[in-house]
Amino acid sequence: MWMDSPNWVTFGTWVAALLTLGIMSFLYKDNKVYKFCEAVFIGISAGYWFVSYFWQTLLPRLGDPLVAGAKSFFSGSPIWGSLVLFIPLGLGVMMLLRLIPKTGWLSRWPLAFVVGYTAGLRLITFLQSNAMTQLQNSVQPVVRYDAAGGFLAWESFNILLVTVGTFAGLFYFFFSKEHKGAFGRVARLGTWFLMITFGAAFGYTVMGRMSLLIGRLDFLLADWLKVIG
Amino acid sequence: MSRRISRIIVFSLIFGGIACCVHSGAALAQSPDAAVRPPQNVRAIDTRGDEGGSITVMWDLSPDDYDGTAEAVTVIGYEIMRAESPGGPFASVGFASAGATRFADASTHDGTDYYYQVTASTSSGGPVSPVIGPVRSSPQWFNVNRANVFIIGIILSMSIIFYIASARRGKKLFIRRIAGLEAVQEAIGRATEMGRPILYIPGIQDMDDVQTVAGVTILGYVARTIAEYDTKIEVPTSRSIVMSTARETIKAAYIAAGRPDAYSDDAVHYVTDEQFGYVAAVDGIMVRDKPATCFYMGAFFAESLIMAETGNSIGAIQIAGTAMPAQLPFFVAACDYTLIGEELFAASAYLSNEPKQLGSLKGQDVGKSIAMLAIATGVILFTLHQVTRVQWFMDAGNWFKDLFLLN
């Protein structure tokens, strides 16, 4: 492929490096170079996603099966499996009717369909993963002994902490009761647990972001400028 | 001399060869593989609660399966063989490791008769179980393995329906104060006074994410207030369906506020599906249009801190809400108010004060009460077992825990 030739690879590296610097220039202030890089990034990515959706979703999941169904129909084979494809096709066409002012109201139907099925489908998913699995994992003895009957203090403390944190967190997320008195104090304890968790997550994620920055600097210094090995 | 030596060599080779043959024959007769027994009690059934296309084969372990001592390791696994007639030919459809007692053959055609054999595999082949069958796979309407999910879902739904009905009958349902939402009015008022726009980001996920649905619902409330105050709003989206939904929501809000003439489709525009391309565009909008208020309501990923920091740098009042645990710390750090997790979903009920939404929220609180009660019961049973060593507590705890087991 001509794109694999060394000259083109070098050219690609230069373009990527200059665009990286252009985007990074935003750290100083908004400027014309940033605006140019932003427009290039948005335009290319929007075009890329359109092509990607067309070839990876629309065609293989709707276009090709419909064509295969049409072929089956004309050859006299059963096409019941293909008939269901007319539902997404119809909903898709209804979405496009937004472009015509008189029929624009029809686009609300596919939107209602998407929001409705989301609510129904996610209810079960959330019930399973966010409620039942967590509930299962929360059910543990808050005191632990080893096989010889010795008290495992540190392990017991850990489990007790998790259990208290779970209850306090659940108290915080009660909306139909005012956070006052003893209830309020437990809910406030829940806030503490949440904030400590957020603090730990913050530190953990910042480290992840640092690795992204290092990756980009590595590209600039090694692949582009070749000042490091 | 040399002839004697050559005779000795020839005799040595002959007797050595014979001795080797005798020894290796004896070794072959004593090979553990030859004595391996096949798996016992092999049976096959249509896989329960599936959409068809699967048969589950079960067996009792071969007596020569791994029993914890190194010398006894003879069976290395079980090969599952399948045929469409009892006489064969049988072909392998899968392999289960030693110690396994079941295998789901997910390559069957519904309505076809299948026959199975299970081989206890060793390093040199292995004995085969008797042929069993015929067995057919078929789809089921209900997944009985998930009956517990169904029952819990029904209980939750019933409690929600009950409270919605109560609210509709006029019963006053209390919802506690949510600090972040009380700031919404103040934030919109600030933008109106300053004559600057409001930026609303409904997350970067599509409408099949409940957080986006919640974000767009809150957008409806914000848009209605904006229509009343005649403030400008800008909603860049990263998904085309979110753009369409947001336009419909804002349009409905403007009509409800009696200002349909003030609505313009230009308030909501699609940018790109690409995560960081979207962020670059939003950052650009922030520094150029300098919105007085930024809302971030929906599902966010790595872009959360980039946007919130840029919003902070332009001095905007910022209100965020998300249920993404990894992004909440950034919003808490960089925004003025943050709706944490379920507060995002409670927000629309709190803001609208509609009986339907208030009842739904109250019903969810019942679900949380049940969850707390269940955790407390399980914890007490297992703790009592640890303290008293009474087996009954352990059995009861395990039974209770299995009520929430996902098969």
The DSSP result for A90-146, as a single string, is HHHHHHHGGGSGGGGGGGHHHHHHHHHHHHHHHHHHHIIIIIIHHHHHH---SS-B-
Percent of chain B with pLDDT over 90: 48
By CB atoms closer than 10 A (0-12, 13-18, 19+), residue B94 is middle
What is the distance in angstroms between the Cα of A172 and the nearest Cα belonging to chain B?
10
B275/B278 Cα distance (integer angstroms): 5
Is the CB of residue B93 less than 8 Å from the CB of residue B107?
Answer: yes
Going across the sheet that includes B91-97, the strands are B91-97, B77-83, B114-121, B132-135
Strands B77-83 and B91-97: antiparallel
Chain-centroid distance of CA A189 in Å reads 30
Contact A141 B367 (CB under 8 A): no
Query: Which residue in the block uniquely carries the two structure tokens 């690795």?
Result: A211
B347/A116 Cα distance (integer angstroms): 19
**pLDDT for B240 beyond 50:** yes
Mean of pLDDT values over B11-33: 43
pLDDT, one tens digit per residue, over B365-392 is: 998 999 899 999 999 999 999 999 899 9
B296's enclosing H/E stretch is: strand B293-297
| Cβ density class B317-354: b for 16+ within 10 Å, e for less | bbbbbbbbebbbbbbbebbbbbbbbbbbbbbbbbbbee
Contact B284 A175 (CB under 8 A): no
Residues of B in contact with A128 (CB under 8 A): 149, 406
**pLDDT for B22 beyond 50:** no
Query: Is B2 or A189 the better-scoring residue by pLDDT?
Result: A189
Q: Two tokens at A97?
A: 């009717």
Residues of B in contact with A143 (CB under 8 A): 383, 386-387
Q: Across chain A, what does the average pLDDT equal? A: 88
Instruction: Provide the residue type at B330 as one letter.
Output: F
**pLDDT for B204 beyond 50:** yes
Ranges of beta strands (E only) in B238-273 are: 268-270
Contact B274 A131 (CB under 8 A): no
- Top residue of A27, A45, A91 to mutate, by most chain B CBs within 10 Å, is A45
Residues contacting B275, CB < 8 A, separation 6+: B204, B238, B301, B302, B303
A148/B396 Cα distance (integer angstroms): 24
